[in-house]
Structures are given as structure tokens and as C-alpha cells.
Amino acid sequence: MATHTASAHGGRDRAEGRPTPTFQDVIMNLQRYWADQGCVILQPYDNEVGAGTNAPATTLRSLGPDTWRTAYVQGCRRPTDGRYGENPNRTQFYYQFQVLMKPSPDDIQELYLGSLRAIGIDVDAHDVRFVEDDWESPTLGAWGLGWEVWIDGMEVTQFTYFQQVGGFECAPVPVEIAYGLERLTMYIQGVDSMFDIVWSRGADGVVFTYGDVYLENERQYSRYNFEVADTDFLFQEFNDREAECLRTLEAGLPLPAYDSVLKCCHAFNLLDARGVISATERMAYILRVRTLAKACCASYMEHVVGIVPAEEGESAAEAAGKEDGRE
Amino acid sequence: MSNLHTLAFEIGTEEIPAFDLHRATAQLARLVPDALDAVRILHGEVTVHTTPRRLVAIVEDVAERTEALTETFRGPSVKIAFDADGNPTKAAVGFARGKGVDVGSLEVREEKGVEHVFATRRVEARDAADLLPEVLEGVIVGISWPKSCRWGSTSEYFSRPVRWIVAMLDERVVPVRFAGLEAGNLTRGHRFLAPGPHEVPTARALLDVLEAAHVVTSEGARERAIREGVARVEQECGAHAELPEKTLLEVVNLCEQPTVLAGAFDEEFLQVPEEIIVDAMLMHQRYFPLYDGDGKLTNRFIVVSNGDPACASTIVDGNERVVRARLSDAKFFYEEDLKRPLEAYVERLDEVVFQESLGTMRAKAERITALARHLAADAGLSPADAADAERAAHLAKADLVTSAVVEFTSVQGVMGSYYAAACGEGEKVARAIADHYRPRFAGDELPASAAGRVVAMADKLDTICGLIAVGQGPTGSSDPFALRRSALGILSMLLDEALPLRIGLLRAIDEALSSYARQGVAFDAQVVRDEVADFFVARAKVLLRDEGRAPDAIDAVLAAGVREPVEFVSRVRALDAAREGDPDAFADLATAYARANNLRDASLGAEVDEALLTEVEHALSCAVVQAEGRVARALAADDYPSALAELASLRKPVDLFFERVMVMDEDRALRENRLRLLNRFVAVFEGVADFGKMAKGK
């Protein structure tokens, strides 16, 4: 429901007289900023993904020697994180702002800090830190090194130099920057619940909050994910999509085949939320998804990049095994 | 002297992970001097300074030139080096090539009566400045990282991308190259307070330039600054901060210029168990919690900031909001978890894998319940204690699937005990659940009650047996499941005299393994049983050595065939203590034993003919007969010290025997009778200790 209040918060913006940016201001400012850095501004990928990384513009385009720069908003679905709209910090659907630049520019940290300035965060007046946080995706056969970025102790961004994707070495190395848009905006607007985020503010003072836009969505999807989704249908969907993926790969079409990987992931995530995947089955499903994802990457290398991949699976597994050795 | 210079070397990076940085700091202090020494660049003191964004080495008194050197190498003998016609053989050519000299330059000289060819190589003096680029590149490459990455279009690896290099010999830039960069005289300061670039006029000035640019260049100085700041906050708010070593090290290496600030959260959150709040602050945020005079957690905490001290209030405000969000999460999880009894979480343990081949946590919970039952019975616990142990074992792992523990992992066990108490489980059961991860490290507090110890032992023994059964036991320095620590934990509980638990570890191992077998895990029970028992004995040896027990006493007890690890430890302790009380007597006894043991002839048996014995022999025979009975009784009563005392009583008669009696008499009957007596003497020691291991010069 729209409310007629002026911004309730002075905001964390130190600049006088400027209204606190809305959620959509943050998005548009990030898009403008990264467009100025030469990125292709894409619109969200039209398939369910668990993270901006999983969209093909990141996963597949990370492969191969060509330069690639993109930035896009991505809605992410994590069925198990649903809280029926009752937790102020956790939802089964949320937005990431994803930046991918290959090769990683030498001044990428400075560019990133510039993007924070562009959305109204005076980084010189805060405590901004790059805290070790390495990334590994068991379903994508991918890993990288990097940080989570903290502003005054709040994690707002994941920053990663991709080393491998789909078991293939990334050369040149792409850098991925994934902003948690709700976190970041809560911080900028000084609100403690993501549902209180001001999404838009009209010239006449009409305000729409994040809750206005998404609270009902959270309630319904939490119920669907945890209680209603038909598990037989989902198991069948997983199997069908797996077969479809392999069939599509045989036709030498990694891009549409990859859509089936995403469908499998989402079916698996829903089954997980429904609590019907036991701990021992879990690994087996993850392995099935990884096999498909790797096959898509291999096909992309062959048909798009034009490099017939050697059997890198083993060395990749070894490298990943080596990386597991931490702490 | 004018021809000595200062070398400054800085590898400028993006933020290096805190613990990796700490290890690299130690490596650098070796790598730099080693690299200089390897090319004979004479130098003075090397100091190393590191921050998350830079590794710096300053080398004093670097000589202008290396010293010239003449090296001589001995090659093959002349016979081998030249053929019949006096031409150099392949061996000679190879030797010359290997040393980098012309084969014609080999000289023939005699050494120890044999003529050899010799190669002489002269290494000319060189300018240090010419050698340094390569030396310093070697240092960059030589640092080993637990994890390293590539970046951009380069193929070099480093912990995180290298963005600038400063390398200067006094005012001169040393052109070190790495990953597309070339060293210069420009450094960078604190990322926000003085980013730079800043020009470094001369090597000696580098640290001053950095300090002026808000960079506290050494780990030690940052730690001091943090400790001083913490002390100031403690004084201001009359509270006391805990600074766990690991978190402190991390905090020290997460900033270039630390500022210690104090924040607070709403007192309402203090209703949430303290452990979750502490976990949220220490593990997730790297804050230090503050405690009042009674050791109770307060609603204040310490943040170490890397930001502008002038912006302290903004930074504190931001951190307080983060804590509020974290703690309201924690409170939410805690309250959600409390809505169901702990028992309800047990069945959800089948969603958590214990180990790939060993099934889920639920299966583990069932196994440790059975094992706890066995241990309680074996230890003869009261029915009430035994019931508590079994109940606690059943519930011990249930909190792993509660939201609070999923989110704040370090509070496992503790949360289980809160939930157990909240749903009406007995206080002892709750305490045993909290305690069952103890001891978590050497010297940690042991579980308070017998029930707690039984559960802790069951859990640890189950893990040890299972992983060894599937070939995942520790190897070399790798012990990913911390089995060694677990085994030591079990031993320290079994050996604790304050709360004696008489439990047969070998029986318990069998029990644990049979649970796995029933579950369908395939392994060779006999082989694994021995492997686990050996593993415990090996741990026990380490424990004994760490206590300073004599290695020969350890070997002596082990050679007597004791298998029960606790038995083994207490025997070594008793033996070592007894020997300490009378070292000469034990040395004598050991010598006599060794002598008897060498002479004895098992084929003759131990039936001594009394009629043939002289007085001295008879005295020994009587002493042996008496000791036999007493040692057996003492061992049966687990009274090892008495058994040792009995053996010690044999010293006089056996000494006298060897002094007065000629064992290897020409008369066969006498000789064999004496050997039979020695056989019988040696047999008394069996099952106590192999004293031969303690004889000097055996």
C-alpha cells in the first residue's frame, strides 16, 4: 500500500539537501556508473537463478579469451531462505546487482569504491573493508578468491576473481562484483527491515516500499516452497530437464542447454525446501547438476569459444580438492 | 661507509587474508636474507613489515659489490677422466660442463694418493644493483600461500593481485618486474586516509613515508595500538574485554591504522544466551565483547576500525546497527527453536551427513547412545547417572539442526543444553549435552559429571573408530577430523584421578565398531580394532613423552604386551616414579634382568630341582616363588606400584646370585638347574615390564 510520508529518515547521506536515494535510484545509479565503465547493461535473465553468478552472462561468458563487461540486476530465488515475510533480513527472493569484467581491470577496487560513491556512500567517512571470503560453487564446478566488502561491519558486496568455471581455468581472469541490493539500500536509507525500504518516491510524495511490492510475494512463495509445491512433479521435472539438457548438448547448443541446468537447480532447491531430499541424496543431486553444468561449459568452449577442451575434469577436481584444505 | 646502501622493497597488494599474511610475514624474514646470501650480496639487518596491503623488507648495509670468489671442484679420477690415448672421456666432459668450465681447463692434482681432475671456476665480483632485480623477483615468487590466484591477463600467482612494487637501493630504483608491473619509487598510503601515490625519496625513508600516510607498518605495532585502545575503553566503561588470540590476530591484520571504538546494543538482547551473542560478535563481526566485574556479558563491545578516527561516531553507529540486525536474527532463531522440544530435532538429524561413508548424524546419534549405554555399564555408573548419560547422548547432536546453531556454529552443544533445560530435561542431562564436545583442546576443562564424560567419550570414540574403519585416519601432519585431539581427550578423561572411570577402552572399541558393522559399513573388524588400539597407544606415548617420562620406561612397559592404553599410561607413570625413588636399585635390577634374560633357555622349562640349590641359589628361588604370587595378586588388583615393589625385592637375591654363582657350570645338571631358576626369575617380570629395555648398554 502506498503511503504519504516524506522520507522518515535523515539517511546516511552526508550531503545536505539531497533526498535519500530510493531502491530504484540505487539500481539506476549503479547501472549508469557501470555503463560509464564500458559495461553492457543487461536486463535480468528470464529464468530462475539462485544468484546473479548463475546467469549465463556470467557463468558462460567467463569462459574463453574474449573481453567481456556486463552489469545487470538479477532477481534471485533461494526457496529455503523464505520466512513468510516475517524476518526483516531474510527472504526467498531478493535482488543482486551483478558486475562482471573480463579481464579484471587493474584499478577494479577503485572502480568499485567509485560505485559506492555513485550511490551516495561517502566511503572516506566510513570503515570500508575487504575481508577474505573465497567463493566456491559446487554445482558449477567453479571457484575464485576474493572478499566480502564491509561498510562499518555490514557485508554489502561479494568481490571475486574467478579462477575456474565449469572445471575450466579462466584466462584471462574475470572479476565478479555482486552487490546485495536490499542490504545496501537498507544501509543507505537507515532502515532495519528490508520491507521498509523506500522503493520509489513520487514528486507528489507518494512512496512505495519494498513491502508494498514484495511482502505478499514472500508470504505466498514461502507457503508454496515449503508446503505446496508438488514433489512428484519436481522430481519428474528434474529428470526431464536433465534429459533435455543432454539432448540439447548433443545438438551442439550450449546456451539453451544451460537453461535446463538452471531449471534442474531450481527444481532441486524447491525439493530441498520441501524437505524431501535426504542428506545422502543431496550430494548425488549436486553431482548431477555439476555434471550438466560442466558439460554445458565444455560445449560452450567448443562451439562458441572454439577451443575443443582437453580432459580438464581431473585437474579441476584436484585443484578444488586442494582448495578444500582450508581451516 | 659510503659503499653500503639501504635496500627497501615493498610488494603492494590488494587485501591479503589475515592469517595468510601472518604466515607470509614469517616467511619473508627468511626468504629475503636467504635470497641475498645465495648470490653473495653482503648485507646487514633485514627487517620485515607487513599490512594487509603490503609486504615490506628493509635491508641495511647492502654492499655495493659482491665478493669475487674462486671455487674448486674435484672431479673423477684421472683413470676415469681420460682414455688410453689421454683424451678426455665423456665423464670428464660431463663434469666440466656441469661446472661450467671448458674441458681443456681441467687440472690434474693428487688428493689422498689418487689423481683427480679439478675444475676451477671464478665468479667475478658483481654490482649488487645488477643482481637485485632477479633476487627480489625470486622473493615474490618464493612466498608460498595456502591459496593464491591469478588476475587480469597475467599468469603469475599471488595471494591477491599485486598492484605496485617499490624497490630502491638508496635513491636508485631497482627495476624488479612481476606480473606486468615494474618497480618504482611510488608507494601508496592508507586506502582512504592518504591514498597517494607518495614518492619515496630514498630507501631509508620508505617506512616514514608510510607512517605519514596513516599506515602502521608492523603487526606488532598494530597489536600494541589495539591493546592500548582496549585498555582505554576498559577503563572508561569499567568493563573487561576478552581478546581471543585468533580473533586478535585477524583484527590486527584487517587494518592498516587501527582505531579502537566502543559500541553498545539494546539490553533486551541479553536475554538471548550469552554464547550466541559472543559468537555473533567474535566470529561474524570480529568485535570483542565486554564483561562486567562478575564476568557477566554486558551490552557493550569493542570494534577495531580501519576508518578515519574523525568519523568514529558514524562508524560506531553503523556497527551498532549491524549488531542489532545480527542479534535480532539470533533472538528470532532462539525463540523459534524453543517452540519445539529438543527431542523433535533428533529425527531431522538425518538431513545432516556425518561423513560420506558413515551415514548421517542421526545414525551417529544412535550409535553414541548405544555406546554411552555400554560405557556407563562398564564404568558401573549408578542407574540414575547411566540414564542421564544415555538421554544426553540421544539428544547431544540434536541442536545441529536448530536455526541458532546453523547460523552460529560455534555454539553447538551449548545451545542444545539451553534447549534441553527449556523443555524440562534434567539439569544433568542439559549439562552433559553442553559438555560433550569437551575437552576441545589440550588443557581444556573436562566434562563436569561422569554422565558428561561418558557421552563425550562415546562421541569421540565413535568418530575415531568410524573414520579409521573407512581409511580416513590421520596421516602425517594431516588430521582433518582432529582424531588425535579426540583420542587425547578420551585418555585425559580416563586418567583423571578426580573422577575415576574404570572403563575398558578395548571393549569400547569393539562395541563402537560393531555398531558400524550393524549399520552396514564394510571393514575388517580385527584389523581396524588393532589399528584403533595402536592409534591410542601412539597417542598415549605422546602424552607420556610430553610429561617427561623416560623413553626406556615407555618401551619397557610396552614390551610387556600391555594393550589397554590407560593401563599403559599408569604403568609407565608408576614405573618411572618408582625408578626415580631409587634409581640405583632399578639400574641394578635391570642389569640383572638383562643378564638373566640373555642366559635363559626356554627349552629347559622352569622346574627347579631344590636339592641341587646352594644357599644363595635357594635364597633367590624362595624370593622368586614369593614374588610370583605377590606380583600376580598385585596385577589382578591393578596395583602396579606393588607389583613393581615386589620385583624390586628380587634385586638383592639376584645380585648375590650373579656375584656368587657360576651359572655356566661344567656340570650339566647344575648348569641346567641354574638356567631353570633364571627362566623362572625372568618369568616373574612378564606382564609387568621388560626391564631389559631399561638396562644400560644393553
Q: How many residues in total does chain A contain?
A: 327
> Sorting pLDDT into bands at 50, 70 and 90, what band is A5?
very low
Give the percent of chain B with pLDDT over 70: 99
Which chain A residues contact residue B149 at CB under 8 A?
A: 144-145, 161, 163, 173
| Chain A nearest C-alpha distance from B158 (Å) | 11
**Cell of residue B598, nine digits:** 640373555
> Sorting pLDDT into bands at 50, 70 and 90, what band is A318?
very low
Beta strands in B170-210 (DSSP E): 172-173, 177-178, 181-182, 186-187, 198-199
* Mean pLDDT value of segment B350-370: 89
**What is the model's pLDDT at position A279?**
65
pLDDT by residue (tens digit) across B96-109? 888 888 888 888 88
CA A294-A295-A301 angle, 5° bins? 90
What is d(CA B105, CA B427) in angstroms, rounded to the nearest whole number? 89
Query: Is the separation of the CB atoms in B433 and B395 below 8 Å?
Result: yes
Query: Is the separation of the CB atoms in B599 and B662 below 8 Å?
Result: no
Tell me which of B42-46, B371-375, B659-663 is least confident.
B659-663
The answer to whether residue A206 scores a pLDDT higher than 70 is: yes
pLDDT by residue (tens digit) across A134-165? 899 888 889 999 999 999 999 999 999 999 99
Report chain B's terminal Cα–Cα distance, integer Å. Answer: 62
> Does B182 touch chain A if contact means CB atoms closer than 8 Å?
no
What is d(CA B509, CA A28) in angstroms, rounded to the nearest whole number? 64
What is d(CA B307, CA B318) in angstroms, rounded to the nearest whole number? 12
Q: What is the ipTM of this complex?
A: 0.89
> Sorting pLDDT into bands at 50, 70 and 90, what band is B599?
confident
What is d(CA B462, CA B516) in angstroms, rounded to the nearest whole number? 9
* Mean pLDDT value of segment B616-630: 90
Cα separations in angstroms, B371 against B223, B347, B425, B562: 47, 19, 21, 24
- The answer to whether A161 contacts B150, with C-beta atoms less than 8 Å apart, is yes
H/E stretch holding B288 reads strand B288-291
**Cell of residue B212, nine digits:** 605519514
| Chain B nearest C-alpha distance from A241 (Å) | 25
Spacing of C-alpha B99 from chain mean position: 43
Nearest by CB to A163, from B149, B352, B359: name it: B149
Nearest CA in chain A to B53: A130
Which residues neighbour B660 within 8 Å (Cβ) at sequence distance 6 or greater?
Answer: B614, B616
**What is the model's pLDDT at position B696?**
65
The answer to whether residue A324 scores a pLDDT higher than 60 is: no
**Cell of residue B425, nine digits:** 530435561
Query: Is the separation of the CB atoms in B341 and B282 below 8 Å?
Result: no
pLDDT by residue (tens digit) across B529-540? 999 999 999 999
What is d(CA B314, CA B4) in angstroms, rounded to the nearest whole number? 49
Residue with cell 539462485: A50
Q: Specify the long-range contacts of residues B566-573, CB closer than 8 Å, at least 24 apart.
A: B566/B491, B566/B494, B566/B495, B566/B503, B566/B505, B566/B540, B567/B638, B568/B537, B568/B540, B569/B491, B569/B495, B569/B540, B569/B543, B569/B544, B570/B495, B570/B640, B571/B640, B571/B688, B571/B689, B572/B544, B573/B544, B573/B547, B573/B549
CA B409-B412-B413 angle, 5° bins? 175
| DSSP assignment of A102-140 | ESPPTTHHHHHHHHHHHTT--GGGS-EEEEE--EEETTT
| Chain A nearest C-alpha distance from B569 (Å) | 32
Residue B303's SS3 state is strand
Nearest CA in chain A to B357: A280
Query: Is the separation of the CB atoms in B106 and B119 below 8 Å?
Result: yes
The answer to whether residue A4 scores a pLDDT higher than 50 is: no
Adjacent-strand bridge partners of A98? A72, A178
Residue with cell 615393589: B645
The answer to whether residue B514 scores a pLDDT higher than 80 is: yes
pLDDT by residue (tens digit) across B428-469? 999 999 999 999 888 899 999 999 999 999 999 999 999 999
Nearest CA in chain A to B354: A279
**What is the model's pLDDT at position A92?**
96
What is d(CA A152, CA B629) in angstroms, rounded to the nearest whole number? 76
**What is the model's pLDDT at position A311?**
54
**Cell of residue B467, nine digits:** 573414520
pLDDT by residue (tens digit) across B43-73? 999 999 999 999 999 999 999 998 888 888 8
**What is the model's pLDDT at position B602?**
82
What is d(CA A259, CA A240) in angstroms, rounded to the nearest whole number? 13
* Mean pLDDT value of segment B623-638: 88
**Cell of residue B456, nine digits:** 563425550
| Chain B nearest C-alpha distance from A240 (Å) | 25
> Does B12 touch chain A if contact means CB atoms closer than 8 Å?
no
Spacing of C-alpha B679 from chain mean position: 45
| DSSP assignment of B461-520 | HHHHHHHHHTT---BTTB-TT-HHHHHHHHHHHHH-TTS-----HHHHHHHHHHHHHHHT
Nearest CA in chain B to A154: B322
| DSSP assignment of B609-621 | -GGG--HHHHHHH
Which chain B residues contact residue A154 at CB under 8 A?
A: 318, 321-322
> Does A87 touch chain B if contact means CB atoms closer than 8 Å?
yes
Q: How many residues in total does chain B contain?
A: 698
Residue B658's SS3 state is helix
Residues 318-357 of B with CB under 8 A from A: 318-319, 321-325, 328-329, 332, 350-353, 356
Residues 13-32 of A with CB under 8 A from B: none
pLDDT by residue (tens digit) across A83-123? 899 888 889 999 999 999 999 999 999 999 999 999 999 99
Tell me which of A118-122, B163-167, B667-671 is least confident.
B667-671
Q: B584 or B518: whose pLDDT is higher?
A: B518
Beta strands in chain A (DSSP E): 40-42, 68-77, 93-102, 128-132, 135-137, 142-151, 154-165, 168-169, 175-180, 198-201, 207-209
- The answer to whether A131 contacts B254, with C-beta atoms less than 8 Å apart, is yes
What is d(CA A162, CA B148) in angstroms, rounded to the nearest whole number? 12
CA A214-A215-A219 angle, 5° bins? 115
- The answer to whether A153 contacts B322, with C-beta atoms less than 8 Å apart, is yes
Q: B79 or B17: whose pLDDT is higher?
A: B17
Which chain B residues contact residue A105 at CB under 8 A?
A: 152
Residue with cell 562482471: A100
Q: Which of A87, A132, A186, A274 is the mutation pick for testing B, counting most B CBs within 10 A?
A: A132
**What is the model's pLDDT at position B2?**
53
What is d(CA B507, CA B527) in angstroms, rounded to the nearest whole number? 15
DSSP state of B686: T
The answer to whether residue A327 scores a pLDDT higher than 60 is: no
The answer to whether residue A207 scores a pLDDT higher than 90 is: yes
What is d(CA B387, CA B400) in angstroms, rounded to the nearest whole number? 22
Query: Is the separation of the CB atoms in A314 and A141 below 8 Å?
Result: no
Residue B249's SS3 state is helix
Give the percent of chain B with pLDDT over 90: 57
Which chain B residues contact residue A275 at CB under 8 A?
A: 351
Report chain A's terminal Cα–Cα distance, integer Å. Answer: 48
**Cell of residue B356, nine digits:** 560420506
What is d(CA B600, CA B598) in angstroms, rounded to the nearest whole number? 6
The answer to whether residue B8 scores a pLDDT higher than 60 is: yes
What is d(CA B313, CA B320) in angstroms, rounded to the nearest whole number? 10
**What is the model's pLDDT at position B407?**
81
> Does B181 touch chain A if contact means CB atoms closer than 8 Å?
no
Average pLDDT for chain B = 91
Tell me which of A1-5, A238-242, B652-656 is least confident.
A1-5
The answer to whether residue A314 scores a pLDDT higher than 60 is: no
- The answer to whether B152 contacts A171, with C-beta atoms less than 8 Å apart, is no
**What is the model's pLDDT at position A309?**
66
Task: Identify which of B12, B448, B429, B361 has the alpha carbon closest to the alpha carbon of residue B188.
Answer: B12
What is d(CA B328, CA B343) in angstroms, rounded to the nearest whole number? 25
pLDDT by residue (tens digit) across A181-198? 999 999 899 898 999 999
pLDDT by residue (tens digit) across B110-133? 888 888 889 888 888 899 999 999
> Does A106 touch chain B if contact means CB atoms closer than 8 Å?
yes
Burial class from Cβ neighbours inside 10 Å (0-12, 13-18, 19+) for residue B540 reads buried
- The answer to whether B352 contacts A127, with C-beta atoms less than 8 Å apart, is no
**Cell of residue B588, nine digits:** 641394578
Adjacent-strand bridge partners of B353? B360
Residues 237-256 of B with CB under 8 A from A: 254-255
Task: Identify which of B163, B166, B187 has the alpha carbon closest to the alpha carbon of residue B175.
Answer: B166
Residue B184 region, left (φ>0) first, then alpha (ψ -120 to 50), else beta?
Answer: beta
What is d(CA B448, CA B536) in angstroms, rounded to the nearest whole number? 23
Which chain A residues contact residue B325 at CB under 8 A?
A: 88-89, 192
Q: Specify the long-range contacts of residues B440-443, CB closer than 8 Å, at least 24 apart.
A: B441/B485, B442/B485, B442/B488
**Cell of residue A46, nine digits:** 528470464
| Chain A nearest C-alpha distance from B192 (Å) | 5
**What is the model's pLDDT at position B606?**
81
pLDDT by residue (tens digit) across B206-231? 999 999 999 999 999 999 999 999 99
Rg (CA), chain B: 35
Phi, psi of B44 (to 5 degrees): -100, -145
